[in-house]
Amino acid sequence: MALLQIQEPGGKIAKPLHRLAVGIDLGTTNSLVSASCGGGVETIPDNGGEHLLPSVVYYQKDQPALVGSEAKALLVEDSMNTVASIKRFLGKSQSELQAEHAYLPFEFDPSRSDSSPAIMTADGSKDAVQVSADILSELVQRAETCLKGPLEGAVVTVPAYFNDAQRQQTKDAAQLAGLKVLRLLNEPTAAAVAYGLDSEDQGNVVVFDLGGGTFDVSLLSLKKGVFEVLATAGDTSLGGDDIDHIIADWLAAQMHEAGQSETLPKARLLQLANSAKHQLSTQDTVQIAAAGWTTELDNKKLKQLTSELVRRTINTCRRVLRDASLAIEDIDNVIMVGGSTRMPIVRDAVAEFFGKPPLTNIDPDKVVAVGAGIQADVLIGNKSANSFLLLDVNPLSLGIETMGELVEKIIPRNTSIPVAKAQEFTTFKDGQTVMSLHVVQGERELVADCRSLARFELREIPAMVAGAAKVRVTFQVDADGLLSVTAEETSSGKKAEIQVKPSYGLESSVIEEMLQASHENAQADMETRSIKEAQLDARQLLDAIANAIAIDGELLSEIEVQKLKGAITALENIMISGSSVEINAATEALNLVSSDFAAKRMDLHIANALRGESIDAVEKQTD
């Protein structure tokens, strides 16, 4: 029976409750928070009217941490206790960080393991999760002050190429800051949400996202309210910070050539480089002065210095188009996201490659946060979920190791998420009661060429002949890009499962190499896989024949034994170095030689099964 809302005569119609949820862009250089305010989603400023919060935290003994502009002002004065660009540290080991960064202005805590690095500060050691949580807490406080109430949830953005470990640590930081994470949303996808709902652009759209520390390119299809990511690629160690380092190194070389005896600290050089870069976004030449020394930098020289970095971004665009099987002519619009896309050299390179000027009508610093806020409004229930459909993708294929060290892909690369896919596997040997499952990630055909994610075992499988047991393996990737794997033996219901949260992630250069290697070695990989599969089929036949001879060898004459041995030896020899075609031919030859033996065994076992049974009884059993 339906319930009616009772209302006093003449009373005002009750407005639906507006729940407080925000979108957060946790950036390498700056962070923002947005929320639905009246007519639309807007970024929320601090008391001074500043929307961007510098992602910098300053730690002092027995004092609350300073976050934002106050902390940024202390980067040069006290670099040992001032942490910047912490987003680049998420999901990485100490050795990875030291290999990636030639300059780190602080010390690592020696008591922490390589897999769990932490920075030494005056207020104790701080890891990437804790520092990120301090930045998020500042944004939460800003939002709750503006919205006048506690937050009920948040959508937090991450680079599209963040792996499981980096996504999980982002989620951990948000939870440490007291946030309920409604969803982790890829930054390029958030930008597409903002543009898709704020404009009438339809068709194929490239989101070019170059921030302070990360770079992503996503190709999306925007049609009738459906946002589908067709392909994505990127580099989690490429951004405006790298441009700052290149300019700083050039400044140091210029000072050395000019005979300057006073060497500036790297932190001061980076500060000068960053300021010069920003000025060159609005003017053609900038004067740089420090320690009584002056030099000049113009956009022509900056283009020369950064040509390799810009070339890497364009190569990523090429890869995304190739992955989506689209040509440049198929692209309708290009969206620029991230503060580094303000640089004329970047915009010009993108416009030249795609043959059209990119869209910049939404502030590139704010567009990701706006998109996250729109998604948060939907997920919290303030806006109809039918407003748009958001389909994200997983960046690398996920699969499982099978016999012969082969990879069976369960969820292919660029599959829309959330997604769940299952596949049935079986046992390889008679009486097998345990199955070891190895979850891998990558595009190659052999396990050795892919990335290992996790291992677990399914036990207490009923003992059966090889191939009789049915084990259903289910891969499920949630909306945050995190993977759960379940294995279940269907007849007994025995189950094992694992959630994949790797300790650290891949370096972006390794991800790029994996994708490149998959294309370069595609033909060789398929031949290798064919050989491995042929070897497996041959090994199963050899094992079956050896087992049959051990049980019923007396059925064979001496001539038949010699024929079998000859075919077995030929197969074993060809398995060592033969092609898949040669191994399959030798396997088929052994099958033919052993067919008479198989027929004799079948006759014998049928006769034994029927011995002592009357014809009537047998007929009843078969009816």
CA distance 22 to 370: 9
CA distance 456 to 463: 19
Residues 6+ away with beta carbon under 8 Å from 288? 251, 272, 276, 294, 295, 296, 297
Please identify which residue in the block is written with the tokens 């022509």: 300
Catalytic annotation, pick one of 127, 187, 445, 449: 187
Residues 6+ away with beta carbon under 8 Å from 516? none
Catalytic annotation, pick one of 25, 46, 138, 216: 25
- Helix 522-552 to helix 558-577 angle (10° resolution) is 160
Whether 87 is catalytic: yes
- Helix 187-198 to helix 367-379 angle (10° resolution) is 80
Specify the amino acid at residue 468: A
**Number of C-beta neighbours around residue 485 at 10 A:** 21
Whether 187 is catalytic: yes
DSSP β-bridge partners for residue 295: 288
Catalytic annotation, pick one of 72, 87, 277, 366: 87
Whether 377 is catalytic: no
What length is written for the chain? 623
Dihedral sign, Cα of residue 208, residue 210, residue 216, residue 222? negative
Catalytic annotation, pick one of 138, 209, 365, 480: 209
Whether 494 is catalytic: no
Residues 6+ away with beta carbon under 8 Å from 431? 463, 464, 465
DSSP β-bridge partners for residue 215: 210, 235
How would you label 302-332 residue by residue, b for 16+ Cβ within 10 Å and e otherwise?
bbebbeebbeebbebbebbbebbebeeeebe
Q: Is the Cβ–Cβ distance between 564 and 597 less than 8 Å?
A: yes
Catalytic residues: 25, 87, 187, 209
